[in-house]
A and B are shown apart, each in its own frame.
Chain A
Amino acid sequence: MTAIAMVVNGREATAEVADRTLLVQFLRDTLHLTGTHVGCDTSQCGACVVHLDGKAVKSCTLLAVQASGAHVTTIEGLAPAGDLHPVQAAFREHHGLQCGFCTPGMIMTAVDMIARHDGALDEKTVRDELEGNLCRCTGYHNIVKAILAAAESTRSAGTPLAAE
C-alpha cells in the first residue's frame, strides 16, 4: 500500500492504495467519479481517457501511484455543475453520441486535441487523432462534426479550451 495525493478536478484527493491499483479504479471506486468509463481495459478504446497534467492519457493503463503528485481532470471537472463545457455543448448540438458510453473519453480526447492544435483542426486531423477512441454507435461522423464545430467556436472566441 502507498499513500498517494493528487489534485482531481481542482480538489485535493488523498488515499492509501494498493500499488497495482489502476488510476481508473481509483477515480471510479474510491473517488466515485464514475463518468470515466472502462470499455476494453486494454488501452484500445479510449473510454477511460482523462487528463494528467493537462494531457490526455488512458487511465486504465496508468497506476494510481504513477499519478500521485499530478493534476488529474475527468469529464466531471470540465465545467461547473449544471454547465456544459463548449465541447460537451457541441456534442449535444451535433448529436455526437448515441448510447453515450464512449462519450466521456471522446470529449476528453477532443478537448486535448483542440488545445494542442490551438483550434486549427481539419477533418483529416480529427479523424487521425481519434485513433485511440472507439465508438460503436455513431460511425464517428457526428463526433467529428462536433469536434470541428467546437474547435471553430474556440478560435472565433479566442479563448483556450483546456480545463486545466
Chain B
Amino acid sequence: MYETTYHRASSVADAVRIAGESGGEGKFLSGGMTLLPTMKQRLAAPSDLIDLRHVPEMKGIAVDARRVCIGGGMTHGEIAESADIRAVAPGFAELAGLIGDPAVRHMGTIGGSVANNDPAADYPAALLALDGLIHTDRREVPAADFFRGLFETALEEGEIVTAVSFEAPDASAYEKFRNPASRYAMCGAYVARRGTDVRVGVTGAGADGVFRWSAAEQALTQTFDPAALDRLTVDAGLMLSDLHGSSIYRANLVTVVTKRAVAKVA
C-alpha cells in the first residue's frame, strides 16, 4: 500500500470539508472492504482517507409504516439482523446476509457498496427493483438515475452517500448465484411485487452493470409465476464475459436465477 494520510470525520460536514482540503486526491473510507484491498494491490493510491465510520448522522435504520430508511454507515450485518427491516422487507435483509462472510459484513456498509457500484454488488439490484432513493449530502437521487455503469454512479466529486430509502413492497426476494471462489454474484436477481406491478433488478451479469429486466417485468405482471419466463431469452451481447463465465452462460443464468427469485416470492 502506498502512503496515505488518515482522517476521522466526526460529521458529514466535517468529511466534506476534509475531502475539499485533500484537493480531489482523497477518498472516503467506510467499511473499507473493497477500498483497502484495492489499495493493498496498489490499484488505488488516495492521498487521504476520510473515515466515515464515526459519523453519527449516517447510522441508524428507520422504518416508518412501510418506508425504510437505512443510514449509509450501517453494516451489512446490522441490516441482515434488523428486526424492523425483516418485518417489512425480509428479502432485503436476506440479501444483506449473503454479502461476503460474517467478518466482512461486520465492516462493509451499504453506503460504501452503493457508492462503489461494483457490477457484482448486491444492493444495486434491490434498489433498482424497489425504486429506491439514494440520499447524499446534497440531494436525493432515484436509483434508476444513480447507477450508471461499471463502478460508475451519479456521484459528483466529494459527494457522500448518507442513506438509502425505499417503500417496502408487498413481497420481494433475492436469489444469488455465487462465484464458487469469490462468492460475488455471477448473477443476482431481486424481484419486487406491488399489487400486480413487478420489478426485476439484475446484478453480476450485465456488461454495463446492474439493470432492470423489463421483458421479465412485463411477463410477470401478467402472470406472476416462474413459468411466465419460460419463453424469454436475454441478449448475450449485453452480458459480461470473463474467465468465470461466458456471456452466453450468464444470459442463461439471468433466466434461471430470476425464476428462482420469483418462486421465492410466490
Contact = CB atoms under 8 A, between A and B. Distances in A.
Given A20-B1, A20-B2, A20-B4, A66 B32 contact: yes
Interface in B55-79: 77
A61 B37 contact: yes
Interface in A90-119: 109, 112-113, 116
A65 B189 CA distance: 37
A39 interface: no
B25 interface: no
B107 A65 contact: no
A133 B183 CA distance: 13
A18 B103 contact: no
A55 interface: yes
Chain B: interface secondary structure? mixed
Nearest to A112: B102
Chain A: interface secondary structure? mixed
A129 B33 contact: no
A69 to B, nearest CB: 8
B102 A132 contact: yes
A129 B33 CA distance: 17
Interface residues of A, number: 28
Contacts of A65: 6, 8
Given A18-B3, A131-B183, A43 B33 contact: yes
Contacts of A46: 101, 103
Interface string B19-41: 00000000001001100110110
Interface string A127-159: 001011100000000000000000000000000
A2 interface: yes
B104 interface: yes
Contacts of B49: 19, 63
B148 interface: no
A19 B103 contact: no
A100 to B, nearest CB: 20
B13 to A, nearest CB: 21
Given A19-B3, A20-B4, A131 B102 contact: yes
Nearest to A48: B103
Given A43-B104, A109-B102, A131-B101, A63 B37 contact: no
Nearest to A129: B102
B107 to A, nearest CB: 6
B103 A56 contact: yes
B90 interface: no
Given A2-B6, A19-B3, A132 B104 contact: yes
B53 interface: yes
A78 interface: no
Residue among B2, B3, B39, B106 with the highest chain A CB neighbour number at 10 A? B106
Contacts of A131: 100-102, 183
Contact of A58 (B53, B77, B104): B104
B140 interface: no
Given A20-B1, A49-B103, A56-B103, 13 more contacts: A41-B40, A42-B37, A42-B40, A43-B104, A46-B103, A56-B106, A57-B103, A109-B102, A109-B103, A131-B102, A131-B183, A132-B101, A132-B103
Interface of A: 2, 18-20, 22, 41-43, 46, 49, 52, 55-58, 61-63, 65-66, 109, 112-113, 116, 129, 131-133
Q: Which 3 A-B pairs have the closest CB atoms?
A: A132-B101, A131-B101, A19-B6
